[in-house]
Structure 1
C-alpha cells in the first residue's frame, strides 16, 4: 500500500491493513464540502442528470420504498471515484472509514496479509503473509489470488470492498477460496487481533547485524536507533536492513529513516499535478554507520519502503538484494466526508533523488535473488535472499573494498 505523509495536520498514506492487506489510505483536514460548493456553479449543468436519476429512482422505481438514500449516495460517490481509473483512489463508506481509523490505533483484527491489484487482470493477489498471522498458519502463500469470500465471488471488487468482506471481529471465521497457479485452494481462517513488532534485530553468524522494519510508523526511527545501539553496529562486519514485505507508512518516518543512512542532500521530490514540487532533504540526524549495508527488498516492499531503499541506492550508501519492489510512486490523502465516510484520492507523485519515478516499475535491486516458496514450510525454511546478503557482506563487500 502506500506511504503516509503527516505534517500540518495532513496524513498521506499507504496504510497497512493488517487485518487483511496494505492499501493506499490517508486522511487530512481539508473541507471537501466547501471546496465542492466553490466549484458547483461551474458544474451544475453537468450534475443535472445525477439529480434526475436520483429523482426518478425515488418517484418511479418499483421498489423505491425499500431504497435507502444513503446507499444511493454511496453508490454515486463510488462510481465517480472509480471512473478515475486509479486503483489507489477510492471511497470509504462510514463503516470502512471507522475500520481505517481503528487500524491507525495499532491493534488490528483480521487474517494478516498484504495485497496488491494486478492492473491488467483486476485480480487481487497476496504479496506478503505476515509472520505469526492467522493466514500463514492456515497455509496462505504469496501469489494466491482472492477468488471467493464466504461463497461470494470477489471478481470486480476493489481492495476496500474486499476488505469489508474479509475483515471482522476476532474469533469469527471467514472462508476464502484462492486461485493458486491453475488450481484452487480454500481455507477457513479464524480472524484474530494482533500487533506486529515494528523492529526486530539480531546478530547473525559471521558477525553480521540484522535489522528488520515492519512498517514506517511514528516510532520507527526511534526504535531503529535503539536497535542499532543494542547491536553495537559499528563493531560488526556489516548490516542487513530488511524491508521485505514492508508496505509503507508515514512519509515523515520514511524521511527520518532514510536520514539514518544518508548524511545530507535530497531524499525525495514530491510532484503535484499543478507543477508544484516539494523537496525533502536529509534531516541531519545521521546515524554514522560505518559498516557496509545491504537492504533486502521484495515485491511486498511498497511505497515508503521503495522510497527509502531507492534513495539509499541512488545515494550509493547500500547494496540492494532481492526482488523488484511493488512499484507504488504516488501519494494519497483521505478526506472525511459529511456522511461519516472518507474519500481517498491520489494527489501527488514522489520521485527518487535521481528523479526516477518507480510507479508500476518498482526499484531494481543491484543483485536479483528470487524466492518463490510454494509451501508454508518453504516460506519459513531457509531464506536464500538473507543468505545472499550474508555472503555478499562476508565476501563480495570485502572483495570490492580491496579493488
Structure 2
C-alpha cells in the first residue's frame, strides 16, 4: 500500500520487521533514512525505531483528525456504524428487558418473527402478511403445479379466518365448504386471532390424512364439524365444455402461472368443436397472479383500450392498456359471484368497461388492492399491499365489489350445510341435520312431506328411494354411503340446473341472433 509517499511493506510481527530492516551481510551500515533506487524510483529505508514511531504518529494524527471533524466539522463527515433509528428505541429496550429479565431463555427467532408480525398486523390490512420460512414455502406452492391440502382460499379479517372460495373439484368443495364460511377451529384447536398463513399451516397436510374444521355459517346457531380428507390439489385452473347451441362454457378457477396457456388451449379446443359463443366463468375464483389477469384480459379487450389502473402512494395512476395479439371474436358473457375476487375482478372490470361484456350473477367480492411478496434473506417473506388498482374508468371497487348487469341468485338449496356422514339419522330423530337432509331430498325431486327437521315415516320412504336408485341396502337410515349419495345427487342438480349459467348462455345467444 501507499501511504504519504512512502513505500512500506506490511509485516506480521516485530521479528519480521527487524529482518526486513537489517542490512545485507558484507555491506557497510547505511545512514538512517538513506535514499535508494528501486523499481518504482526512490524510496526511504527506515530503521526499526523510526518505523515504529511513524506508525504511532500516524495513529495519533488520524485520531486527532477524527476528533476535530466530529467536534467542529459537518456531522456527516464521519459515520461510525449504522445510523441511529430513534423510532426503534422502544423496541430495542423491550427486547433487552425480555432477554435480561424473562424467567426462561427466550426464542430469539420467535421474538423477532413476532415483532414483524405485529408490525404487519398493525396495518389493519387483511391482505398484508408476514410468512416465516415454512409459510413462505407454502405460499410458493399455492401458485405452482400442485400442493397437498383441502383446496380452499382463506383470508383473515378482524381476527377471523373466512373462506373466500373452495377450489373446483377439491376436497373442500366436495365436503360442502362454501364462500364466507368462518373457520373457528382446526382439529378442535381454536384459530381465533391467527393470521391466514398460520391457519394454512394447520389446515394443509399430507395426502390421505384428515382434518376437522369447525365452521360457523351465516346465522346458524350451532357450528358445523366438517371432516375433510386431504388430497393432491392440482393447479389445473381451466375447465371447458360445449353446451347446446354451440355455446362454450369455460371456467377459470384461479389465476396461476399456466392459466393463460390453459385458457388458450381450451379456446382452441372449443373452436375445433364449433364454438359460436362463449360464457366465461370466474365464480368462486379467488384471484392469483396479476400478470395472468393482464394476459387473459388482453384476449377480450381491443388493442389500445385500458385494462385497469394502479396507483401507488403519492403517485399518479398508471394505466395498463391492451396490446395487439390473439383476441376472442365470438359473443361473450362473464359469470361472477361473491367468491370472485382480486384478479377475477380485474378481468371483470376490463371486460365490462372496455369491451362492453355483460356480467351475470352476483356482486363480486371487492378486493381493490395489489400485493407484492418480498423475500427476506432467511427465506421468510413479507407480502404487503403496495398499490390500489382501479377499473378502466378509474373506479375503486375495494370492499364494494362489481355489480353484475343481470343479477341472478343461487337457489336456496345451493347454500345447504354439509351433512355429516358419520351421524346416523333415522325414524324419530329431530335435528337441524335432518331438516337439511329433507331440503336436499325435496330439491332433487323426492317428496319428504313437511320439512320440519323430524325424521318420520315419509322421510324413511324418501331415504329408501335414494338407496334404491344408488343400489344401496334399503334401510331407510341416512348415514355413511347413503349420505354421500344424497349429496352427490344434489351436486349434480346444482351443476345441471345452474340458473346463472343458463342466463349467461341466453344473453350470448341473443347477441348471435342480432
| TM bracket (short chain) | 0.7 to 0.9
364 and 77 in structure 1: CA distance in 2 versus 1, 3 angstrom threshold? same
2 CA distance for matches of 1:209 and 1:101?
A: 32
Summarize deviations over 1:111-138 as a string: whole Å, max 9, x none. 1112344x5x543322322232122333
Q: Does 1:384 align with 2:424?
A: no
Residue 382 (structure 2) pairs with residue 267 (structure 1): no
* 1:218 Cα deviation after fit: 3.4
Q: Is it true that 1:134 corresponds to 2:171 in the alignment? A: yes
How many angstroms apart in 1 are the aligned matches of 2:141 and 2:504?
Answer: 37
Matched, 1:54 2:91: no
Distance change in 2, residues 1:316/1:137 (3 Å): closer
Query: Structure 1: any 5+ residue segments left out of the alignment?
Result: 1-39
Q: TM-score, normalised to structure 1's length?
A: 0.82
What residue number does 2:211 align with? 174
- 1:220 counterpart = 2:245: no
2:38 maps to what in 1? Answer: none
Q: Is 1:81 the equivalent of 2:120? A: yes
Q: Answer yes or no: is the 8 Å Cα contact 2:165–2:286 preserved in 1.
A: no
Q: Residue 234 of structure 1: CA displacement?
A: 11
SS at structure 2 position matched to 1:356: coil
Query: Which segment drifts farther, 197-206 or 301-310?
Result: 197-206
| Cα separation, partners in 2 of 1:98 and 1:116, compared to 1, 3 Å | closer
Secondary structure at the residue paired with 1:349? strand
Q: Tell me the secondary structure at the aligned position of residue 223 of structure 2.
A: strand
RMSD of Structure 2 on Structure 1 (CA): 2.1
Q: 1:236 to 1:173 in 2, by over 3 A?
A: closer
Could you tell which deviates more after superposition, 351-360 or 143-152?
A: 143-152
**Partner secondary structure for residue 96 of structure 1:** helix
Which position in structure 2 is the counterpart of 1:152? 189
Specify which of 276, 280, 292 is matched with residue 320 of structure 2: 280
5 Å-filtered alignment, 1:7-156, equals: 41=83, 44-63=85-104, 65=105, 67-117=106-156, 119=157, 122-156=159-193
- Provide Cα deviations, 1:145-179, integer angstroms capped at 9, x if missing partner: 10111211122222112112211222222221111
Query: For residues 234 and 308 of structure 1, do their structure 2 counterparts lie closer, same or farther at Cα, with a shift above 3 Å needed?
Result: farther
Secondary structure of 1:183 counterpart: coil
Judge which range, 241-250 or 321-330, deviates more.
241-250
Kept after mapping to 2: 8 A contact 1:209/1:233: no
Q: Which has the higher contact order (CA 8 A, sep 6+)?
A: 1
The alpha carbon displacement at 1:225 in A equals 2.3
Deviation sequence 1:189-218 (CA, Å, 0-9, x none): 221112042222121012212111222233
Change (3 A) 1:127 1:369: farther
Write 1 or 2 for the structure with the bigger share of strand. 1
- Tell me, in whole angstroms, the C-alpha distance in 2 between the residues paired with 1:398 and 1:337: 53
How far off is 1:236 after superposition? Answer: 4.0
- Residue matched to 1:162: 199
TM-score (norm 2): 0.65
Aligned residues: 354
The match for 2:415 is 374
Distance 1:71 1:216, change over 3 A: same
CA distance 1:102–1:115, change in 2 (3 Å): closer
* Cα contact 1:263–1:286 (8 A) shared by 2: no
Once residues 241 and 176 of structure 2 are traced to their aligned partners in structure 1, the CA distance between those partners, rounded to angstroms, is 27
For the 8 Å contact 1:255–1:283, the answer to whether it is kept is: no
1:348 Cα shift?
Answer: 0.6
**Are the aligned partners of 1:233 and 1:239 in contact in 2 as well (CA < 8 Å)?**
no
Q: Distance in 2 between matches of 1:350 and 1:233?
A: 36
Find the counterpart in structure 1 of residue 331 from structure 2. 292
The residue that corresponds to 2:232 in the other structure is 193
What is the deviation of 1:350?
0.9
Could you say if the C-alpha distance between residues 171 and 97 of structure 1 is closer, same or farther in structure 2, counting changes exceeding 3 Å? same
| Runs of at least 4 residues off by over 6 Å | none
Q: 1:393 maps to which residue?
A: 508
CA deviation vs aligned residue, 1:247-293 (integer Å, no higher than 9, x gap) = 2222222122111111121111111102143321112114141x321
Deviation at 1:379? 4.8
In 1, the alpha carbon distance for the partners of 2:144 and 2:332 equals 32
